[in-house]
Structure 1
Amino acid sequence: MTSVTCKCGEICLEIENDPMMHFMCHCKDCHSLFNGPAKVFIYTDNDICITGAHSTYSYEGGSGNDLHVTFCSNCGTRAYTRPDLIEGLTYVFASMLEGHIEFQPKVELFTYNRSKWEHKPASVVESYDHNGTLERIQELLENLEQRD
């Protein structure tokens, strides 16, 4: 089990399994919220126990469905996002798990918006100009079956 906290220690994430997927999102919302691409690990909600005071900011993502970004009410650390599009998943930001899991994204999304100074990581095997949901669902379903 991996246990991590935000900068001030208020939010704690306890994670049981390896992530189902690593991805980068270059959409305009992520660039605005994170000052660059979001670097994300995908887990099921059942993989994670979350404690501590937090706030949530919700917005409509590129799919037309809402995303709910959770951050520490005290220090502002962005901890995770939960998407309405695929219920039961939690996107944990790679910065929360730095030093615990090496970020090796295989997928990058909304590449049309990648900043000119950002380079495609060598680990990326799939790039999409959109949210890539349909393409990612099969891989996520296969990973879910392996967890049962």
Structure 2
Amino acid sequence: MIKHQGGCHCGQVKFRTDYDPLLVTQCHCQRCRRLSGAMTFYTIFGDDEVLFEGKMGQYNFLGGSGMPMRLFFCQQCSTKLYCTADVFEGFKLVVTGSFDNSSDFEPQAEVFTNNKMSWLRDNGCIQHRFPEAGLYDRLQIMIDNLEKRSA
């Protein structure tokens, strides 16, 4: 059963998943801000939990952690769809705004808060804040959420 779905602006790339995300993260790093024009929201799933269909391009860069990342986007309209990161091997970081029901995914964590724009405010949904990448902490949160899925 498809639980969530989405795609790019022009409709050439579509995706779907039967799962809820392991974590929704708001990233304030300078690299994400430059790539998107603002902070970025990533909805994290296991690599095999989201199925993408359509032609995508790939852009390789170093993430805020300094580790390699790969950004996948529609070759037609250039909509950013998801990233993979060496530090989160085995996971897809799906751009939250590309979901049809993107407002259903409130961020639980924010990272690189040391770069956060001073005028941004939290509506109360953020449970975890990390001045840097918070890699190990985020992995633990994802493991905890995976265990809740199984319960």
Q: TM-score, normalised by structure 1?
A: 0.91
Calculate the aligned-residue CA RMSD, in Å: 1.6
Quick one: percent identity of the two aligned structures? 28
The 3-state SS of whatever aligns with 2:142 is helix
Q: Detail structure 1 runs of 4+ shifted over 4 Å in the superposition.
A: 145-148
1:131 CA drift (Å) = 0.3
Question: Is 2:37 aligned against 1:39?
Answer: no
Unpaired runs of at least 5, structure 1: none
Equivalent position of 2:133 in the other structure: 131
CA distance in 1, matches of 2:103, 2:123: 16
Q: CA offsets, 1:13-57, max 9 Å, x none?
A: 111100111110000001101111111110001111111111111
Q: CA offsets, 1:112-137, max 9 Å, x none?
A: 11112222341012111100101111
The 3-state SS of whatever aligns with 2:31 is helix
Structure 1 residues 100 and 23 mapped into 2: Cα distance closer, same or farther (>3 Å)?
closer
Question: Is 2:101 aligned against 1:99?
Answer: yes
Equivalent position of 1:28 in the other structure: 30
1:147 CA drift (Å) = 5.5
Match of 1:7 among 6, 9, 14: 9
CA distance in 2, matches of 1:127, 1:93: 19
Q: CA offsets, 1:76-100, max 9 Å, x none?
A: 1111111111211001111111425
User: Which one-letter code corresponds to 2:104 in the other structure?
Assistant: E
The 3-state SS of whatever aligns with 1:85 is helix
1:104 CA drift (Å) = 1.1
Structure 1 residues 52 and 27 mapped into 2: Cα distance closer, same or farther (>3 Å)?
same
Unpaired runs of at least 5, structure 2: none
CA distance in 1, matches of 2:111, 2:54: 31
Aligned residues: 148
Q: TM-score, normalised by structure 2?
A: 0.90
